[in-house]
Amino acid sequence: MKEIRFIYHPDNALEKAGRSAEPLHGEAERTCPNCHVTMKESAFRNSNWTCRCGYHFRLGARERITMIADRKSFQELFQDIVSTDPLSFPSYEEKLRKAQAISGEKESAITGLCTIGGFDAAIFAMDPNFMMGSMGAACGEKISRLFEYASEHCLPVVGFTVSGGARMQEGLLSLMQMAKTSGAVKRHSSKGLLYITVLTDPTTGGVTASFAMEGDIILAEPGATIGFAGARVIEQTTRQPLPKGFQTSESLLSHGFVDAIVPRSEMKAAISSLLRMHRRAI
C-alpha cells in the first residue's frame, strides 16, 4: 500500500472553509493542499474532488451524498432537527449561525434514504464545514433516528463520517450522544442488518469512539486522519515523535481496524457491491 501522508494546513483558507476562491478570470480555481497544484474547480469536480497526487478534498455532506446516491434517489429525513444551546454556552449560538451560513446546512449530519446502484439504503453524511462535523444532541438524534428507521424498515445503513468529535459547547449532552447512537446501532445490528461506515478525513474523538467504528464493514478514504485522541495532544503528552503515517487510514488498515481503503472514484461501486452481497440468500 502506497503511503500517503497529507498535511493539513489550517491556514489554507480554501481548504478550511471548503469554499472556492473568488474567480479571477472566469472560472474559480482551487489549490491542492497536498501538492499545491492549482487547477480549475471544474477539473477537480470532474475527478470527484481528488487531485492527481491522490489527495482527497474534504467534501460537504450534500456533495458526498450526490456522489454516492443514484441520481434523484435521495430523500432527506429528519431535516427539521437542529441544534439548540442547552447550556447557554458563551458564543455558541453565534457559532451555530456561522456554521449554518458556511455549510448551508442546519446540522452537522444529513440523514435520509436513497438507492445506491439500485439497492435501497438509509444514508448519513457528516459535514466538515459545520463545526468540523462535531456531534451535538441534534446530530446524535438524527443518527439515532436514522438507525431506528432503518431497523423498522429493514434497511442497511451507509454512513460517511467526518468529525472533530463530540461538540463541547453542549457538554455532557453531547457526550451522551455517543451512548445513544451506539445503542441505536446495536439494535439495528441485532436485527441482522448491515451497517457500512466510510471514514473520511478527519474522523476523531467521540465519533471515532462511537458509531464510526461500529460498522460491520469499515471503509476509509485514502490518507484520512482517523483516531481518538488528537495527534498534537499525544505528542505533547508523551513527548515522543509520532511514527510515520500515525493515525492515517493506511495505518489503521495495517493495525486491523479498517477493512479496506477505497479511493473516491471506486467508492460507489464498492458500496453497491457490498450491498448486493449482503442481500439475504433466503
Partner 1 sequence: MDAYERVRIARKTDRPTAADYIGSCFSSFFELHGDRRYRDDRAIIGGIAMLEDMPVTVIGIEKGHTAAERVEHSFGAPEPEGYRKALRLMKEAAKFQRPIITFVDTSGAYCGIGAEERGQGSAIAENLMEMMDLPVPVIAVLIGEGGSGGALALATANRVWMLENSVYSVISPEGCASILYKDASLADAAAENLRLTAQDAYSFGICERIIPEDDIGSPSFYKKLSSELYSEMQKLLQIEDIKEDRYQRFRAFGSGVAI
Q: Give the DSSP H/E element, type plus range, for residue 192.
A: none
Q: Residue 53 Cβ, how far from partner 1 at the closest point, in Å? A: 26
- DSSP 8-state code for residue 70: P
Binding region for partner 1 (CB under 8 A) out of 5-13, 96-104, 245-253, 270-278: 245-253
**Alpha-carbon distance values, 11 to 36, 96, 200, 222 (Å):** 13, 21, 20, 22
Q: Which three cell numbers stand for residue 58?
A: 474534504
Nearer to partner 1, 30 or 180 (CB): 180
CA gyration radius, the chain: 18
Nearer to partner 1, 114 or 212 (CB): 212
> What is the per-residue binding string for partner 1 in 128-147, x denoting contact by CB under 8 A?
--------xxx-xx--x---
87 binds partner 1 (CB under 8 A): yes
Quote the CA–CA distance of 193 and 197 in Å, as a whole number: 13
Applying CB under 8 A, the site for partner 1 has a residue count of: 64
220 binds partner 1 (CB under 8 A): no
Q: Residue 207 Cβ, how far from partner 1 at the closest point, in Å? A: 9
Among positions 91-130, residues that touch partner 1 (CB under 8 A) are none
**Which of 14, 143, 166, 194 is the binder for partner 1 (CB under 8 A)?**
166
Binding region for partner 1 (CB under 8 A) out of 23-31, 40-48, 97-105, 185-193: 185-193
Q: Residue 131 Cβ, how far from partner 1 at the closest point, in Å? A: 12
Would you call 96 exposed, middle or buried from its count of C-beta atoms within 10 A (0-12, 13-18, 19+)?
Answer: buried
Pairing of strands 119-126, 109-116: antiparallel
Q: Is 205 helix (H, G, I), strand (E, B) or coil?
A: helix
Which backbone phi and psi does 132 adopt, to 5 degrees? 45, 45
- Sequence-ordered list of residues with C-beta below 8 angstroms from that of 153, at least 6 positions apart, any chain: 122
Binding residues (CB under 8 A) for partner 1: these are: 78, 80-84, 86-87, 89-90, 136-138, 140-141, 144, 166-168, 170-180, 182-187, 189-190, 205-206, 208-214, 226-229, 233-234, 237-238, 240, 242-243, 246-247, 251, 255-257
